[in-house]
Structure 1
Amino acid sequence: MRSELDLELVSLTKRYGQTVAVDAITHLFHAGTYACLLGPSGCGKSSTLRMIAGHESVTDGNILLGGRDISYLPPAKRGTAMMFQNYALFPHLTVLDNVAFSLRMKGVDAPTRRARAAEMLELVEMTGLSDRLPAQLSGGQQQRVALARALITDPQVLLLDEPLSALDPFLRVRMRGELKRLQRELGITFIHVTHGQDEALALADEIVVMNDARIEQSGPTRDVFDAPKTAFVAQFLGSHNVIALPEGKIAVRSDELRLTAPDGARLQGRVTGVEYQGTHVALRAMIGGEQEVTALLTDKDFFGQPKDLGEAVGLDWDRKAAHALSA
């Protein structure tokens, strides 16, 4: 069912000379969804985000927000706001004035815009640092200021271009929780570009996997993860093995592979790597056809019957764990 705040891309295309960066993609983002555009570098995800924001021109196709064509409107008139990867804070302005800047440009009086900026800083838990300059903030604090500055315009859609890439791993995990909390609290659509599979799985209600300027697969996050349709999606999302069998190509999750005796096993192979990951052990094996697969075993299962490099192993899985793949 459609909402008046849905965002729809219709045959959206971006060309740079002869290069096609985004190739006629069509997708409907339902209002209030946390969606991640996911894919490798150069797949077209950032160009797509920048076209939605109005920071990149549309070559062909349309962008509709609530049924209104916003394809050729300036960024400030679209009902979207963008948080940039580098945060782009003004170094000479205080935190409060950075957040209030867009209202200042719209001619909002000083008391009103400062009060509104203070509300936004409270939302991102930065109230006590309103008088500081950006250089006096940590990376995580700068990110919160950038978020508050994007949200002060009351956007219907918030666009985030790899917002966590500059943060250390510990802070990245914490800020994922903050982004999810904010999206739930505000109830607006978040569209978040990332090449990190873990980030997308942790945050998104829906993922849109892009490859070579097109959408390879989209849908609810768990559905796409559990049932990838192509070899690219299975391998890019990780945790899946793509196995070519005589009857066709399949994907099997790494945690669904189990070790058995080599004799009579569905597949036979030799151990090529063992990586201890705390709660799990990732065991890699080379099988027929020079294919390498990974089995993710609990530490208890592995160390109960440890395997050495070069050792012969059998591999099996439940029939329901395998998904047929298209080309």
Structure 2
Amino acid sequence: MTPNLDLELVGLTKRYGATVAVDAISYHFSAGTYACLLGPSGCGKSSTLRMIAGHESVSDGAITLGGRDISHLPPAKRGTAMMFQNYALFPHLSVRENVAFSLKMQGVDAATRAARADEMLELVAMTALADRLPAQLSGGQQQRAALARALITKPDVLLLDEPLSALDPFLRVRMRAELKKLQRELGITFVHVTHGQDEALALADEIVVMNNAIIEQAGQTRAVFDAPKTAFVARFLGSHNVVSMPEGTLAIRSDAMKVTASQSARLPGTITNIEYQGTHVTLTAAVPGEQEVTALLSDRDFFDNPKDLGEAIGLDWEAGAAHALAG
């Protein structure tokens, strides 16, 4: 595997008749990065991934990998591999046969492809299950088999289409750690589509936030989270409040909100919901002219000075905790 090929989207566009699913987006993925395409359903993220893979045609623009235009190459000639949301394992083939299938299609001899498949299964800790059928595997085991099958072609870029969505919450967290570990060990670029903010923040070195067929904001994950540029990004990433003040529209992190009893605070509010979440308490308040504002309090801070539903409170923040939004 070659960890030195940058992936670039240049004015990439996808139209379905009169509908523009992806509208002239451009982005440069650094080689060897874990990137997440993040956004709500219908924003264009899956169409973008499928164009990179070669499973959707490009209407306009280009996709380059290592400076080579791969926009119109068949999937097998691109240097990419895709792991599908439903894993798409052949039910009548063993795990080893599933993993080796693409090599069989390439005409690789049986002994070589079995040896390569066993290497990949060792990489994803599935050696003991090589002779099982997919129906005899758990969801997490099926995911590992699908990963091994995608990686056997030695891609420069691995594309993942909501790979954790079929797993239960506990397994999803465990598999996040395994995906990140695998990406670091291999050193290749992962491009992972998700609508889950927690998933993207946990996994990605870079996030690309999409909305209405365009890239709303992209960059290093922490930089985007700490300084969302638009109200959409602030709200979609979660953990931010968007409030209108005399000085303009501001984003303020929920954990920077301070709850006081004073009505002289920047925002007067009325408590509408309180959720105990173990290490912290999420307090939601209705404030004038806004929908809702949330404050994230440590459990100790909340229970040292508990509040009730319907109680009037003040909400405040340090000056440096807020920043202006473009829209």
Residue aligned with 1:112, SS:
helix
- In structure 1, distance between residues paired with 2:263 and 2:189: 53
Task: Tell me what 1:262 maps to.
Answer: 262
- In structure 2, distance between residues paired with 1:173 and 1:267: 36
- Quote how far apart the aligned CAs of 1:310 are: 1.1
Provide runs of 4+ in structure 1 moved above 4 Å. Answer: none
- In structure 2, distance between residues paired with 1:84 and 1:290: 40
- Quote how far apart the aligned CAs of 1:290 are: 3.8
CA deviation digits over 1:266-313, x for unaligned, max 9? 111111111111111010111111431000000110111111111110
8 Å Cα contact 1:204-1:221 kept in structure 2: yes
Task: Tell me what 1:131 maps to.
Answer: 131
8 Å Cα contact 1:243-1:291 kept in structure 2: no
Structure 1 residue 282 and structure 2 residue 289: aligned?
no
Count the aligned residue pairs. 325
Alpha-carbon RMSD across the aligned residues, in angstroms, is 0.8
8 Å Cα contact 1:4-1:67 kept in structure 2: no
- Quote how far apart the aligned CAs of 1:244 are: 0.7
- Quote how far apart the aligned CAs of 1:246 are: 1.8
- In structure 1, distance between residues paired with 2:291 and 2:131: 58
Task: Tell me what 2:151 maps to.
Answer: 151
Residue aligned with 1:289, SS:
coil
- In structure 1, distance between residues paired with 2:211 and 2:113: 42
Provide TM-score, normalisation by structure 1: 0.98
Task: Tell me what 2:242 maps to.
Answer: 242
- In structure 1, distance between residues paired with 2:324 and 2:76: 46
- In structure 2, distance between residues paired with 1:151 and 1:142: 14
**Range with bigger deviation, 207-216 or 260-269:** 260-269
8 Å Cα contact 1:83-1:146 kept in structure 2: yes
- Quote how far apart the aligned CAs of 1:76 are: 0.2
- In structure 2, distance between residues paired with 1:171 and 1:292: 32
Q: Structure 1 regions of 5+ residues with no counterpart?
A: none
Percent identical pairs in the alignment equals 79
Query: 1:1-327 maps to which residues of 2 (within 5 A)?
Result: 5-327=5-327
- Quote how far apart the aligned CAs of 1:177 are: 0.6
- In structure 2, distance between residues paired with 1:309 and 1:135: 49
In the alignment, residue 218 of structure 2 is paired with which amino acid?
Answer: S
Q: Structure 2 regions of 5+ residues with no counterpart?
A: none
- In structure 2, distance between residues paired with 1:291 and 1:145: 45
- In structure 2, distance between residues paired with 1:241 and 1:112: 56
CA deviation digits over 1:114-155, x for unaligned, max 9? 000000000000000000000111110000000000000000
- In structure 2, distance between residues paired with 1:180 and 1:43: 25
8 Å Cα contact 2:4-2:32 kept in structure 1: no
8 Å Cα contact 1:13-1:22 kept in structure 2: yes
In the alignment, residue 299 of structure 1 is paired with which amino acid?
Answer: D
8 Å Cα contact 2:14-2:21 kept in structure 1: yes
Provide TM-score, normalisation by structure 2: 0.98
- Quote how far apart the aligned CAs of 1:260 are: 1.4
